[in-house]
Amino acid sequence: MYLLLLFILSGTYLNLIAQTPQYYNLNTGTSSNSFPFNMAGGKAVNTLILPGEINQPTPVPSGMMITKIYFRHSGTGTRVYTNLHILLAQDTITNLTSGAFYSGTYDTVYFKATDTLVHTAGSYTCLTLNHPYPYDPTKSLIMFVGQCGTTGAGGSVYNSTTTGYRRVWSVGGCPFVAYASGDAGTVNFGIDVVPAVTNVTNRYLKLATPGVSTTYVQVPFVASMVGWGNNITIEAWVKPGGTTTAATVLNKGTSNFDYQLGISLSTMLPFFRAGSNIATCPFAVTANVWQHLAAVSNGSTVTFYLNGVAGAPVALACVLGSSTNEMRIGRGNNDAGSGGLDEIRVWSVARTGPEILSNMCVKWIPNNTPGLKAKWHFDSTAVDSVSGWNGVLQGTATYDTLTFCPIVVGVTNNGTEVPTSYRLEQNYPNPFNPTTNIKFSIPKSGYVEIKIYDVLGKEMGTLVSDPYLAGTYIVGFNASKLASGVYFYRIVCNDYTKTMKMMVLK
């Protein structure tokens, strides 16, 4: 359920590069048009691309999802946009209606309140979608692109003249109102795709409990593991197997300890290490419970985050090592890891608390997110999809299923605060598209179940079905599989039951 509910590319991120799309429709248009990117007062354009038209260098195969979209520009310049957004839809129509925008159901695949685009004449500008969009090449692709204001220069796009009504535009400004016309202009447009993933179970790296130093993931040295300064963030979902052995998360450099994140034996206090310099986290983690742990070092201080909540910065003047020794996941030098690890990420930047919160429960963050050096999903493989820091399982290391992604919050640094009553709070944000957070509190341990229902009472899925310790939790929910509308979420724990309403707005 974790993957089904969280299969999304998180957070809005824009990749601005001049390159050729994986697939495109036309790249020979000579007609330059300022709609919608080169209009200072705001503009929207509704575009229709017919089945089979995205056919260069070959037609798009079936069973794909769009991850990036491209626009070919006719001028050079840089623009700052307000409320830039892109919506996609698919239908069997072969013409738009003159003077009217397409009225079917859209999916908002990209939105940013403030955005900067760099346009290069004759080249494509690439935008990485907030989440993949399933593409059926046998249907028309309908695209709605709008912005509510812009400053700067450049941004006009190339169009090719085809047939019928392929483009309808707004009269200008927000909210958008369709101009009483339309034409056959088709934007020079491209996409990147990945195979669609269906019915995939999320897995995690399962280590020996108690830990054994011969059971871990061995990652051979890659030059990009070192040499990028002293800012670093290491984060992971961790489930320490117990207090009888240490629980190393990741160590680069074996005995050199170029950089390491681990959890100390018996005390369960996380620590960050660079060479002989060690910073100890001011709060402990809990054995046999999934929690998100992050260590952020800027070269002078280390800040630890437990489930997105920061501890007081720990002074530590350190320099990251640069040895050519291997990296080990679930093992330090000879000290072991234990329990479970999932979604390990290494960054070459000192991430902020809001940045960690924004995607710690989002599985499919873009590989080109600024500062991201490596990430391991452990879905039956130890491959790093960012920099090729690919690992090999050693000893009895294996994979197991993980069915939830809880984010524990509202816990004091010593982890002793316990709620005094049961609570199920209003999800936030609400309305939402496609992700929201659901917060609940339980004053004593119990089996928690949270299910999603539609307005007719039909069960749409189970968000939580696990035993929890007393505490306050936030669970991320992704409704990308649901249509727009009103839904209900219901919690059952011990003798407590409550139902709340939420709205999906796409």
User: Quick one: average pLDDT of 38-46?
Assistant: 94
Of 241, 343, 340, the closest CA to residue 288 belongs to: 241
Cis geometry, peptide bond prior to residue 57 (ω within 30 degrees of 0): yes
- 161, 178, 195 - which closes a domain: 195
Residue 61 has, within 13 A of its CA and on its CB side, a CA count of 7
Over residues 418-455, the pLDDT tens digits come to 788 999 999 888 888 877 888 888 888 777 888 888 88
Residue 254: burial class (beta carbons within 10 Å; 0-12, 13-18, 19+): middle
Backbone dihedral region for residue 214 (phi beyond 0: left; psi -120 to 50: alpha; all else: beta): alpha
341-398 confidence digits (pLDDT tens): 999 999 999 999 878 877 776 676 777 788 999 999 898 889 898 888 999 999 999 9
Same domain, 349 and 423: no
- Among residues 402, 430, 446, the one where a domain terminates is 402
Only one residue has tokens 């929207």, namely 44
Domain extent, residue 64, equals 2-195
* The amino acid at 219: V
DSSP 8-class letter at 223: G
Q: What is the pLDDT of residue 355?
A: 85
DSSP line for 233-288: EEEEEEE---SSS----EEESGGG-SEEEEE-TTT--EEEEETTEEEE-SS---TT
Residue 348: predicted pLDDT = 97
CA–CA dist 212, 201 (Å, integer): 27
Distance CA 16, CA 127 (A): 7
Query: Distance (Å, rounded) from C-alpha 49 to C-alpha 140?
Result: 6
Q: What is the mean pLDDT of the chain?
A: 85
Same domain, yes or no: 147 and 122? yes
The helix (run of H) or strand (run of E) holding residue 4 is: helix 2-6
Query: Model's pTM, two decimal places?
Result: 0.50
Q: Residue 209 maps to which CATH number?
A: 2.60.120.200
How many Å apart are CA 413 and CA 411, to the nearest integer?
Answer: 6
Q: How confident is the model at residue 155 (pLDDT cuts 50, 70, 90)?
A: very high
pLDDT at residue number 201: 60
Whether 293 is in a domain gets the answer: yes
Indicate the pairing of strand 140-147 with strand 398-401: unpaired
Residues 35 and 182 in one domain: yes
Residues 6 or more apart in contact with residue 504 via CB below 8 angstroms? 431, 432, 433, 434, 479, 482, 483, 484, 485, 487
> Of all residues in the chain, what percent carry a pLDDT higher than 70?
90
Q: Are both 178 and 242 inside the same structural domain?
A: no
Q: Is residue 408 part of a domain?
A: no
pLDDT band, very low/low/confident/very high, at 249 (cuts 50, 70, 90): very high
DSSP state of 200: P
Gap between the Cα atoms of 231 and 319, Å rounded: 9
pLDDT at 19 over 90: no
Q: Give dist(CA 99, CA 181) in Å, integer.
A: 4
The Cα 290–Cα 237 span in angstroms is 7
CATH number at residue 465: 2.60.40.2550
- Shared domain check, 311 and 334: yes
Examine the pLDDT at 494 and tell me if it is beyond 50.
yes
Q: What percent of the chain has pLDDT over 90?
A: 54
Do residues 145 and 49 touch, judged by C-beta distance below 8 A? Answer: no
236: left (phi over 0), alpha (psi -120 to 50) or beta: beta
* Tens-digit pLDDT profile for residues 107-151: 777 878 788 999 999 999 999 886 678 899 999 999 999 999 999
Query: pLDDT digits over 251-272, tens only?
Result: 999 999 999 999 998 899 999 9
- Round to whole Å and give the CA distance between 367 and 221: 20
If one counts the domains in the chain, the total is: 3
Is 166 a residue whose pLDDT tops 90? yes
What is the predicted pLDDT for the residue at 235? Answer: 96
Of 146, 159, 139, give the one whose Cα is nearest residue 27. Answer: 159
Give the N- to C-terminal CA distance of the chain in Å, as an integer.
Answer: 22
Residues 110 and 32 in one domain: yes
Considering the domain architecture, whether residues 287 and 384 belong to the same structural domain is answered as yes
185 & 213 share domain: no
**pLDDT of res. 197:** 52
pLDDT at 304 over 50: yes
Please say which residue of 402, 434, 452 terminates a domain: 402
**CA–CA separation, 320 and 370 (whole Å):** 20
DSSP for 391-432? -EEETT-EEEE----EEE-S--TTS----SS-EEPPPBSSSB
Statement: residue 24 has pLDDT above 60? yes
Within a domain: 165: yes
Assigned token pair, 228: 């990028």
Least confident residue range of 18-22, 84-88, 238-242, 426-430:
18-22
HEC profile of 316-371: CCCCCCCCCCCEEECECCCCECCCEEEEEEEECCCCCHHHHHHHCCCCCCCCCCCC
User: Do residues 255 and 396 both lie within one domain?
Assistant: yes
What is the 8-class DSSP label of residue 484? S
